[in-house]
């Protein structure tokens, strides 16, 4: 069961008026549509809200952290949870596609990748077929990171009208949203206007390992009738205006390991007389990027497509501000002040982030250890026209060359852990047009068309392998705290997002084009 914050409000749980900016309130407080076609089904979505939240509560309780090998059984458990839900809803041809063992680096060489959940709802040749993709794995989370509540227990905050838990916005909330779309149609007695296929994976947060191959294998089989792919796994740019997303950065994730003594050592006995891996590693890591965010690895800037004047105009028209960035980051630490600079550095320039060090002392206290082997983790968000293989060569050569200059007797091994391509689409195709109409229907405003700094590694693969267009239809807001502490999804976004999915499927089904 989920936790209700402010328990005195329990009796009027979930039937309270939603607290929203004024122009949303008009659209969302009752049945949020001017179109009689959607009235019945939107009303049903509103009525089913408690049930939808209950499903989310059950789903987020499973700590499906793909990056944590010890939690792999939980990731697999969540796949089976989804299978049960799909069965209950009458989905057919449900298949758990196994992807084999996880490739190195991995502690357990027999570690199985979590399965991909394929299923189908409807098989009418006269209808279009929409494949919806989502991921059921989540980022790591623990209360010690600074969460206000247990991350794997859903908190329904009545006062703020939000749902808080790891996975609420990324991506369990949006993924389960697709199941609710089907339930709402069933209970409203309205036929789904398209055939719906699902592709739910459990490794997205760890680079979608194994999925690319499966999509290639199934392109002419399970996915052979797919007309369009829709992904709901990203966020509005800010907190007020809905967006549709037509671009993503890619992500190349690296690990650089420095190996030294045979075991961790006492720094009083060995300090000053042996070469310390951690000292070498911090020098390698600090050579990658400066404090202004400039990547210091030579040759990367030259791969980036130049900014055009036409493109500059796009950034000027987007509704966003420095204040929104500061609000979402909870700080005044932005590297840029102008909206255009912020957007370009988030969407169309590469960035390098240093994430952490495996093997180093990281707890409270003052342990006087010399770690024997340390691995620094960093990633580069990639953009057009960067080539992943060329980038990797530049990165590895750079690390080796910096290390060589240190003259250390330790050893270095720099490697790519996973890569996923950037993606940029045509925001005026039939799918985007249908989604824009759907957004207007639900929220009463035209969406902004945005790109995103994050990555969904499989997006380009769907486009290329299935020869279809991909739409990114975000559910949550820019301040949801995905990958961070206190991740949340506003209830109005959850319900509005489900309605938008509904309307998008209907408008896309009606569209004369594919």
Ligand X SMILES: NCC(=O)N[C@@H](Cc1c[nH]cn1)C(=O)O
Residue 170 found at the interface with Zn ion (CB under 5 A): yes
- 280 labeled part of a ligand binding site: no
**Tokens 């057009």 sit at which residue?**
384
Interatomic CA distance for residues 95 and 198, integer angstroms:
10
Among the listed residues 167, 162, 164, 138, the one whose alpha carbon sits nearest the alpha carbon of residue 149: 164
Comparing CB distances to Zn ion, the nearer of 174 and 350 is 174
Among the listed residues 65, 46, 232, 61, the one whose alpha carbon sits nearest the alpha carbon of residue 155: 61
Q: What is the torsion angle, in degrees rounded to the nearest 10, for the CA atoms of residue 44, residue 50, residue 52 and residue 54?
A: -160
Q: Which of residues 230-259 bind Zn ion (CB under 5 A)?
A: 233
Catalytic residues: 137, 204
Comparing CB distances to ligand X, the nearer of 248 and 344 is 248
For the chain, the helix, strand and coil percentages under 3-state DSSP, each to the nearest 5: 35, 20, 40
Task: Please choose which of Zn ion, ligand X, none residue 427 contacts, taking the beta carbon within 5 to 8 angstroms, the exact cut-off set by kind.
Answer: none
- 170 labeled part of a ligand binding site: yes
Comparing CB distances to ligand X, the nearer of 79 and 251 is 251
CA distance to 21, 150, 174, per residue, from 115 (Å): 41, 27, 19
Task: Please choose which of Zn ion, ligand X, none residue 455 contacts, taking the beta carbon within 5 to 8 angstroms, the exact cut-off set by kind.
Answer: ligand X
Phi, psi of 146 (to 5 degrees): 120, 10
Closest approach, Cβ 359 to ligand X, in A, equals: 20
- 381 labeled part of a ligand binding site: yes
Compute how many other C-beta atoms are within 10 angstroms of the C-beta atom of residue 409: 9
Among the listed residues 272, 256, 205, 246, the one whose alpha carbon sits nearest the alpha carbon of residue 377: 256
Comparing CB distances to ligand X, the nearer of 32 and 139 is 139
CA distance to 89, 240, 295, 455, per residue, from 319 (Å): 39, 9, 28, 22
Q: Where are the alpha helices (DSSP H) in 189-299?
A: 211-218, 267-270, 277-286
- 80 labeled part of a ligand binding site: no
Residue 201 found at the interface with Zn ion (CB under 5 A): no
* DSSP-based three-state secondary structure for 3: strand
Closest approach, Cβ 393 to Zn ion, in A, equals: 27
Residue 218 found at the interface with Zn ion (CB under 5 A): no
The pair of structure tokens assigned to 339 is: 């909206």
- 233 labeled part of a ligand binding site: yes
Comparing CB distances to ligand X, the nearer of 205 and 479 is 205
User: From the list 46, 158, 171, 276, which residue makes contact with Zn ion (rule: CB under 5 A)?
Assistant: 171
- 264 labeled part of a ligand binding site: no
Q: Taking CB positions, which residue lies at the least distance from ligand X?
A: 454
Task: Please choose which of ligand X, Zn ion, none residue 207 contacts, taking the beta carbon within 5 to 8 angstroms, the exact cut-off set by kind.
Answer: ligand X
Closest approach, Cβ 66 to Zn ion, in A, equals: 10
**Applying CB under 6 A, which residues contact ligand X?**
170-171, 204-205, 207, 233-234, 251, 253, 420, 454-457, 482
Residues contributing to the annotated binding site: 135, 170, 205, 233, 266, 368, 381, 455, 483
Residues contributing to the annotated binding site for substrate: 233, 266, 368, 381, 455, 483
Q: What is the binding site for Zn ion (CB under 5 A)?
A: 170-171, 233
């Amino acid at each position: 069961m989920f936790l209700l914050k402010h328990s005195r409000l329990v009796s009027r749980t979930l039937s309270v008026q939603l607290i929203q900016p004024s122009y949303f309130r008009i659209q969302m407080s009752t049945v949020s549509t001017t179109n009689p076609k959607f009235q019945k089904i939107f009303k049903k979505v509103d009525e089913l809200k408690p049930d939808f939240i209950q499903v989310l509560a059950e789903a987020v309780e499973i700590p499906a952290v793909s990056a944590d090998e010890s939690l792999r059984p939980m990731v697999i458990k969540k796949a089976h949870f989804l299978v049960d839900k799909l069965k209950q809803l009458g989905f057919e041809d449900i298949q758990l596609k196994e992807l084999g063992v996880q490739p190195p680096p991995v502690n357990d060489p027999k570690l199985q990748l979590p399965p991909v959940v394929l299923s189908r709802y409807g098989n009418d040749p006269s209808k279009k077929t929409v494949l919806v993709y989502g991921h059921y794995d989540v980022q790591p989370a623990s209360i010690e990171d600074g969460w206000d509540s247990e991350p794997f227990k859903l908190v329904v905050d009545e006062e703020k009208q939000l749902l808080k838990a790891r996975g609420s916005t990324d991506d369990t909330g949006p993924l389960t949203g697709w199941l609710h779309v089907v339930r709402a149609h069933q209970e409203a007695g309205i036929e789904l206007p398209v055939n719906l296929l699902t592709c739910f994976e459990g490794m997205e947060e760890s680079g979608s390992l194994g999925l690319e191959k499966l999509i290639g294998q199934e392109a002419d089989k399970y996915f052979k009738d797919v007309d369009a792919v829709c992904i709901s796994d990203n966020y509005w740019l800010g907190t007020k205006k809905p967006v549709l997303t037509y671009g993503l950065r890619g992500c190349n994730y690296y690990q650089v390991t420095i190996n030294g003594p045979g075991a961790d050592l006492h720094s009083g006995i060995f300090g000053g007389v042996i070469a310390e891996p951690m000292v070498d590693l911090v020098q390698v890591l600090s050579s990658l990027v400066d404090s202004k965010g400039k990547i210091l690895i030579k040759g990367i800037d030259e791969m980036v497509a130049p900014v055009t004047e036409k493109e500059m105009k796009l950034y000027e028209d987007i509704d966003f501000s420095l204040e929104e960035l500061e609000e979402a980051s909870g700080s005044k630490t932005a590297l840029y002040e102008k909206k255009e600079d912020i957007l370009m550095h988030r969407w169309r320039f590469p960035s390098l982030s240093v994430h952490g060090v495996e093997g180093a002392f990281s707890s409270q206290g003052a342990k006087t250890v010399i770690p024997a082997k340390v691995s620094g983790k960093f990633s580069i968000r990639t953009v057009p026209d960067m080539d992943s293989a060329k980038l990797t060569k530049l990165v590895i050569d750079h690390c080796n060359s910096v290390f060589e200059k240190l003259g250390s007797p330790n050893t270095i091994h720099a490697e790519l852990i996973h890569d996923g391509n950037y993606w940029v689409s045509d925001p005026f195709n039939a799918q985007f047009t249908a989604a824009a109409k759907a957004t207007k229907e639900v929220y009463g405003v035209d969406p902004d068309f945005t790109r995103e700094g994050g990555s969904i590694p499989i997006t380009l693969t769907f486009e290329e392998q299935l020869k279809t267009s991909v739409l990114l239809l975000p559910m949550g807001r820019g301040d949801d705290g995905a990958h961070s502490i206190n991740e949340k999804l506003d209830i109005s976004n959850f319900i509005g997002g489900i309605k938008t999915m509904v309307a998008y499927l209907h408008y896309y089904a009606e569209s004369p084009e594919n």
